Structure 1
Amino acid sequence: MRKVNFAEFGGPDVLRLVDAEEPHPGPGRIRIAVRAAGVNPVDWRIREGQVLKAHPIALPSGVGLDAAGVVDEVGAGVEGVAVGDRVFGEGSSTYAEFAVLSAWARMPDGLGFAEAAGYPSVVETALRVLREVGVRPGQTLLVSGAAGGVGSAVLQIARDRGIAVIGTAGAANQDYLRSLGATATTYGGGWVERVRRLGRVDAALDLAGSGVIRELVELTGDPGRVVSIADLGAPEHGVRFSGTAGSVPAALAEAVRLIARGALHIPVEKSYPLADAAAAHVDSQAGHTRGRRVLIV
C-alpha cells in the first residue's frame, strides 16, 4: 500500500509518500480501507517532535490519527461492526490506503467520508476542554482562535448546552463564527477591550497558541478558568495545558448524536490528495483555518 511517512523530525519537507506493508488489526481493533484522513495540528506537532511525551513514536513513523473509510478486516473480540461498514474513528498512521483503528463509530446517514474524517480528534478535544474549563449553562465562554476545527466544534457544542460564546478570529471569519451561534470579534490590537465591551467572560479557551494566555487570565480573573490546547507555556501562568486525550469512543458516540440531531456540522475547508500531505501541513501551520482540512485517499 501507499502511506505518508517521515524518517526524521522536521518541517513538512520530511514527509514522504512511500510503499509500505499493509497493517492488520490485533484483538479489539479493525482495519479500514481509508477514504479520507483528517489533518490535525497535533499531526505536525508530532512530526516536529514537539509532543513526544503525549505521543511517543519510533522513527520512521507514519502520520495521522483520524480517518473515515470502509471496514475490511475485523480483529479478534470485536463485535457490532462488520466488513463493509462505513465508519469513522481514530487510530494510527491514517495518512495511508489502509489503517488500523482503535476507536470507531458507524457514520451517520448522509455523512460523507471527507467530512466524517474531520470529526474524531476534534470532537474529543472540544468535549474535553469544555469539561476541563468548567463552564456551565448560562455562563459566557471566550474562545480564542474559534474558526478552526476544534473551535467550530466547541462553539456548536457550547451553544447546544446553553452556554453563550464569544469567539475571536480573523476578519474573514466573523460571519462564519456568527453562523455557529457565537458573538464574534477580531483578534489583533485592542481585542481585549473589544471583548470587554461584549460583556462578562466566565471562562476562556486558547485554541490557537497565539500568545494570549496573560490576557485570557485578565479577562476571566482566574487562571483556573482558562485552558489551552496550543500554548506549551500556559502552565507558567497557572493555566492548564490540555494535551492528553480522554475517551475517544465516548466522543465518537456524542458526535454521532449531535450530527444526527443537526447540532454539529464542521465544514471541510480544503481537501488534498494523499501525495500532498506536506502542503496540507503547511496550510494547517499557517492558521486562519475555517473548519477542517482532510486528505482524500
Structure 2
Amino acid sequence: MAQHWVATRYGNLDGLELREVTPPAPSPGEVTIEVAAAGMNPADYKRVLQGQDANALPAPIGFEVAGVLSAIGEGTEIGSGPAQVGDAVLAFRIAGGYASALTVPAKDVFAKPDNLDFAEAANLLLAGTTAAEMLDVVHAQGGETILLHGASGAVGVSVLQQARRHGVRVIGTASERSFDVVTRFGGTPVAYGPGLADRVRRAAPSGIAAALDSVGTDEAVDVSLELVPDRERIVTIAAAGRAQADGIRMIGGAMPASAAFRDRVRADLIALAAGGDLVVPMARTFPLAEARAALDLLRGEHPGGKLALIP
C-alpha cells in the first residue's frame, strides 16, 4: 500500500485527506516510482483553494516528484531513454505527486542528475520551465536589461540563473532581506514599494526591454507598463485579470501552448542542472504526513527556498 494526499473539496486546506492506495501496475508506456521527495509549488494549494470542477474530486495534489523506479511497463523507456528498476528519476507534469508511490506516464520521467539530491530534483522543473517560458515569450536577448518582479522566489531564482547564461541583465524586485539571494544569482536587487519605478530607472539608465511578473500585484503590473512600452514584452504568471484588462501576456501550465513549451524544455533544464548551471535552493523538508503544515508555510511568508515532502 502507498499513501497519497487528495482534495475532497475545494475552498480550504481542511478538505485534504491522506489516503491509503495501491498504485496500479504500470502498463506499456508507464512506470511506477517509489517517491523519495515530492516537490511543492503554489500551484498545489491554488488547485485546492480555487478548484471548481466537482467531478474531479477527489483531486490528486502535486505536479513533480523524485524517487526510484520500482516497476516499468513492458517495452517502456522513460523520457530520457532506457531505464531499469532501481534507477533514480525525477518526474514533472504528473498528477498526484503528494504520495509515497505512484504510477505515471513514462514520457514525463527522466534520469535524476547525480549532483541533485531527491528534494532538489523534485523541485527543479515546475519553477524551471515556468522561468524558461517567461524569458522565451518576451524574447529576452543577450545585452538587454529586463525587470523581474519577485526575483527571490523559486521562479525568480530560476529566471536569474537562466538569464545570466544568455547574457541578459536582470533588475530584480525583492524585500531588502532577500537582496543577497538576488545578488548571489546574478541579479541587481531593488526594493519593491513606493518609488519602485524611479529606483528601477536609476538601476537601468539605458531602459528596460521587458518585464516579467511572478507576484501578481498591481504595483508589479503598473511599474511594468510604465517602463516597458511594448506590452507584448510584459508577461505575468499571477495577474490574470490585469493581463486581460491591460493587454499583457499571461502564461500558465494549464494553457496548451505553455504546457507544450514546458514539456519541450524539460530535458534541457535537467542537463543544465546536471552541469551545475541551474541549482535549486532548498529551505526545508516536511514528512509527507505534514503536508497541510507545509502548505501553510508555502502560503505564508517567503520560506527562503523550496519545500519538499518526504514519505
- Fold conserved (TM > 0.5)? yes
Specify the SS of the correspondent of 1:246: helix
Deviation at 1:144? 0.3
Q: Deviations over 1:109-135 (max 9, x none)?
A: 221101110112111111111111111
Give the 3 Å change call, closer, same or farther, for CA 57–89 of structure 1 in structure 2. Answer: farther
With 155-164 and 254-263 compared, the bigger mean Cα shift is at 254-263
Aligned match of 1:246: 260
Amino acid paired to 2:152: A
Q: Deviations over 1:90-114 (max 9, x none)?
A: 1110100112333121111221101
CA distance in 2, matches of 1:130, 1:25: 36
CA distance in 1, matches of 2:55, 2:289: 22
Aligned match of 1:190: 195
Conserved? CA contact 2:130–2:262, under 8 Å: no
CA distance in 2, matches of 1:140, 1:24: 50
Conserved? CA contact 1:168–1:184, under 8 Å: yes
Give the 3 Å change call, closer, same or farther, for CA 197–57 of structure 1 in structure 2. Answer: farther
Conserved? CA contact 2:272–2:278, under 8 Å: yes
Conserved? CA contact 1:104–1:252, under 8 Å: no
CA distance in 2, matches of 1:8, 1:166: 40
Specify the SS of the correspondent of 2:39: strand
Aligned match of 1:13: 14
Q: Deviations over 1:154-178 (max 9, x none)?
A: 1100001111111111121101110
Give the 3 Å change call, closer, same or farther, for CA 68–132 of structure 1 in structure 2. Answer: same
With 239-248 and 189-198 compared, the bigger mean Cα shift is at 239-248
Conserved? CA contact 2:148–2:212, under 8 Å: yes
CA distance in 2, matches of 1:164, 1:73: 45
Conserved? CA contact 1:12–1:278, under 8 Å: yes
CA distance in 1, matches of 2:141, 2:166: 8
Unaligned runs of 5+ in 1: none
Specify the SS of the correspondent of 1:118: coil
CA distance in 1, matches of 2:262, 2:69: 18
Aligned match of 1:157: 162
CA distance in 1, matches of 2:239, 2:69: 37
With 70-79 and 182-191 compared, the bigger mean Cα shift is at 70-79
Q: Deviations over 1:194-236 (max 9, x none)?
A: 1111111110111111222122111112221111111121221
Give the 3 Å change call, closer, same or farther, for CA 28–179 of structure 1 in structure 2. Answer: same
Aligned match of 2:237: 229
Give the 3 Å change call, closer, same or farther, for CA 126–115 of structure 1 in structure 2. Answer: same
Q: What is the percent sequence identity of the aligned residues?
A: 36
CA distance in 2, matches of 1:57, 1:204: 38
Q: Give the TM-score normalised by structure 1.
A: 0.93
Deviation at 1:288? 2.1
Task: Kindly tell me the number of residue pairs found equivalent between the two proteins.
Answer: 294
Conserved? CA contact 1:36–1:117, under 8 Å: yes
